[in-house]
Chains A and B, each alone.
Chain A
Amino acid sequence: MAEAVDYSIFLARDAEGRAEVSLAVDGVDCAACISDIENGVKSLPGVVHARLNYSTHRLTVAWSGEGAPADVVQRLESLGYRAHPFSGRVEEEEARRARWLLRCMGVAGFAAMNVMLLSVSVWSGNVTDITPETRDFFHWLSALIALPAAAYAGQPFFQSALRAVRTRKLNMDVPISLGVILALGMSVVETALHKEHAYFDSAVMLLFFLLAGRYLDHEARRRTRAVAGNIAALRGEMAHRLGPDGVPVLVPVQALGAGDMILVAAGERVGADGEVVSGASAVDEALITGETLPRLVGPGARVYAGSLNGSGVLTLRVTAGGEGTLIDDVQRLLDGALSARGAYVRLADRVARLYAPVVHLTALCSAIFWLVLGASVHDAVMIAVAVLIITCPCALALAVPVVQVVATGRLFRAGLLVNAGDMLERLAPVDTVVFDKTGTLTLPDAVLRLPRDADPRLLALAARLALSSRHPLATALARSAQGAAFAEVEERTGAGVVTRLPEGEARLGSLDFCEAQMPADLPADCSLIAFRLGDARLVIGIAQQVRSDARAVVDALKARGIAVRILSGDRPEAVAPVAARLGIADYEGGLRPADKIAALEKLKAAGHRVCMVGDGLNDAPALAAADVSLSPASGAAVTQAQADAVFIGQRLAPVLAALDGARTAGRLMRQNLALAICYNLIAVPLAVAGYVTPLVAALAMSGSSILVTLNALRAGTSAAGPAPATTVEEVRA
């Protein structure tokens, strides 16, 4: 890139005050890449640190003086890697949380091992010849290890439980926290009273198991998010910002702010919402409204981020830039749809709502029961606490997250990046899948449609002429060009391009510009471009290409008893042929975002569980309104932020894989919950009867945890649906 690029928005200061930048790097796939990249970047002037993270494909570069990210991008490009800087503040936050969870887990693991060492000695001593003094000594030692360790490692649960209680809700962390605190408290009292039984080992082992589950869950989500972040960053959306001196400088769109002037060249994507100050052009808003026919704009017209500029050059005044880029009414609809969906309660929390009161009531009842039978207050309280410890939902709290981790990993390999934690639970009961057409069922890139009597010589010339135009339709045509572009091509703004050939004047552009007639045998869903050479004319249709496996996926969905519909913003006559080709009977076209929401609400009111698959900005509110939503990685950034999962690649297969994976996961989650409840049905009567010793508690707890974990692992191997075909590597290639 010969142009000046200003990446300064991505520069940050590290702990030592050095300028630092993080880049997403594409094409890292071998061991040699690491040293190539690091050595290549380190040899740049001023660079003091360059480290490539092979797992996340991120490069961190630090400079001693002023940073120059553009040099790094250029150097990587010359080495054969595409790279783009990005700001990872959110991810930095998540990485810190991951480290914290791991630290808690380490502490809990240390405590669990050492307390267990002491506990096993006590248990074996209790049936042989341990002296009460030695036992007390071991119990006090256990308390010394367990209390500080639990205070530290239990924080993730205590904090979450406190938050839940403050908002007057119940989640799984409330019974967990209560169980741990009671177990520890009672054990200290028992030790002080020189009794036989203490539950220090149960409390810390519980924390260790749960932290392991929670860390894995967090890591799985972080990994998919890193890949999604890389895809978004590598798209590298840039805009020409006009400096005070009128010279355009290429800046990342994140750097744009309201009031900036930007220059949009022909064929470029608009980087921010804005108002046209000068220039005239036709903009393709397929990504925003789904409409495939370009809209004419002139001074004073509003243009939205993500639309594709046609043949004219536009100067825009930015009205909303960077992250705030969004059409007002889309934002309004989005807010409404989001507040409507907030009602979903996760499966684990629903179980917790029932579970916690039942358990606490059982504990209370058993204490009263023993008091009535004439037991001492101490023994009654002991039994009540034993009930609480044995029901402390270790297996229950692992039942859902472990399935989620395994299933998310499997979907990741199938090309699906899961965004929302509860996406699998919401996807499992879906019975209706609604597709958007443009960019979802069809590919973002178009293909040519020719009339029957098309002259191949004319087509070849038209394609070469198209190389000189930046109009999107011409770009699609230019892809079939063989040979170089013509010299001396003149561009007529808003009409087309003209050149002189030995055979006469050659024109490429709109039908009027070439004085051509619409041929009868082109399909109705095409956009048209005409070529004229002398008196010979050729009209070429540019049509969208349906994803290669769309028909197979639609058929497979139907075979699973799922209704398939199309809701599109495009003209109905453009939707009809696609629907016919895919065998979808229910389709609607010409829908505005609000109409899409209304259509979804109608489906939901009829009792259907709806999954929406869409890519455009106009789909964002609909995605939020649906029960669950998917979006292709080629879609608008705002849309992806709303989607519960993003799929990568040219194929639609990940949608099917997601559904199958979610159904398997849903089944396993229920199985796991049933297992956990079965365990309680056996363990609680034992506890109420007073038979639960610390040894029994430890065995029951670890046994049930291991059982649900093993069951969850089946989510990764069960072979439902077709084998995952699109890998992340394939997409990059």
Chain B
Amino acid sequence: MTVLLYLVPIALALGLIGLFAFLWSLKSGQYEDLDGAAFRVLSDDDLPSAPRAPAKREPQP
């Protein structure tokens, strides 16, 4: 049963890593805007492209 000596700490450590990852993501506000994240991933704001004038948006009918 000596295998427990390292298997149990490994299991606990994995669980704790998961818990801290969750707490960190919660603290950094990643659950604040779940719908927006789906759209933000599509925007190219990290590319050094030519500055684009803010597009004029047609008002809703």
Contact = CB atoms under 8 A, between A and B. Distances in A.
A35 B43 contact: yes
A79 B23 contact: no
A417 B32 CA distance: 20
B42 interface: yes
Contact of A733 (B18, B36, B60): B60
Nearest to B25: A106
Contacts of A732: 60
B54 A39 contact: yes
B33 A106 contact: no
Interface stretch (A49-57, A202-210, A371-379): A49-57
A250 interface: no
A35 B57 CA distance: 12
A34 B39 contact: yes
B19 A110 contact: yes
Nearest to A53: B33
B47 interface: no
Given A36-B55, A102-B26, A106-B22, A31 B8 contact: no
Interface in B2-61: 4, 8, 11-12, 15-16, 18-19, 22-23, 26, 31-36, 39-40, 42-43, 45, 54-61
A40 B54 CA distance: 6
Interface in A175-224: none
A54 B39 contact: yes
A55 B33 contact: yes
Given A36-B54, A55-B34, A31 B15 contact: no
A52 B57 contact: no
Contacts of A35: 43, 45
Contact of A79 (B32, B57, B60): B57
Contacts of A141: 8
A33 interface: yes
Contacts of A43: 54
Interface residues of B, number: 31
A53 B32 contact: yes
B35 A55 contact: yes
Interface residues of A, number: 37
B8 A54 contact: no
A155 interface: no
B36 A34 contact: yes
Contacts of A79: 54, 56-57
A288 interface: no
B16 to A, nearest CB: 7
A103 B12 CA distance: 19
A580 B22 CA distance: 61
Contacts of A53: 32-33, 36
A54 B40 CA distance: 10
Nearest to B19: A110
A80 interface: yes
Nearest to A31: B39
Contacts of B4: 134, 137
Contacts of A696: none
A52 B36 CA distance: 8
Contact of A114 (B11, B40, B59): B11
Interface string A538-557: 00000000000000000000
A678 interface: no
B23 A31 contact: no
A169 interface: no
Given A110-B18, A114-B11, A33 B26 contact: no
Interface in A69-98: 79-81, 95
A32 B59 CA distance: 14
B10 to A, nearest CB: 12
B44 to A, nearest CB: 9
A102 B36 CA distance: 20
A178 to B, nearest CB: 27
A31 B54 contact: no
B26 A80 contact: no
A732 B42 CA distance: 25
A31 B43 contact: yes
A361 interface: no
A226 to B, nearest CB: 11
Nearest to A114: B15
Contact of B12 (A30, A40, A107, A114): A114
A34 B43 contact: yes
A99 interface: yes
Contacts of B11: 114, 117
A536 interface: no
A107 B15 CA distance: 10
Contact of A80 (B8, B34, B57): B57
A103 B26 contact: yes
A141 B35 CA distance: 40
Contacts of A31: 39-40, 42-43
Given A31-B43, A36-B54, A733-B61, A106 B34 contact: no
A29 B58 CA distance: 12
B23 A106 contact: yes
Contacts of A56: 33
A497 to B, nearest CB: 31
B26 A34 contact: no
Contacts of B42: 31
Contacts of B15: 110, 113-114
A52 B61 CA distance: 23
Nearest to B31: A102
A727 B35 CA distance: 17
Nearest to A33: B57
A114 B15 CA distance: 7
A27 interface: yes
- For the complex of A and B, the 4 pairs showing the least CB-CB separation, nearest first, are A54-B36, A31-B39, A110-B19, A80-B57
Given A31-B40, A34-B40, A55-B35, 10 more contacts: A31-B43, A36-B57, A54-B33, A81-B57, A95-B32, A99-B26, A106-B26, A110-B19, A110-B22, A134-B1
Interface of A: 27, 29-36, 39-40, 43, 52-56, 79-81, 95, 99, 102-103, 106-107, 110, 113-114, 117, 131, 134, 137, 141, 145, 732-733
Interface of B: 1, 4, 8, 11-12, 15-16, 18-19, 22-23, 26, 31-36, 39-40, 42-43, 45, 54-61
20 contacts: A29-B60, A30-B39, A31-B42, A32-B55, A34-B36, A34-B43, A35-B45, A36-B55, A39-B54, A54-B35, A54-B36, A80-B57, A81-B57, A99-B31, A103-B26, A110-B15, A110-B19, A114-B11, A134-B1, A733-B60
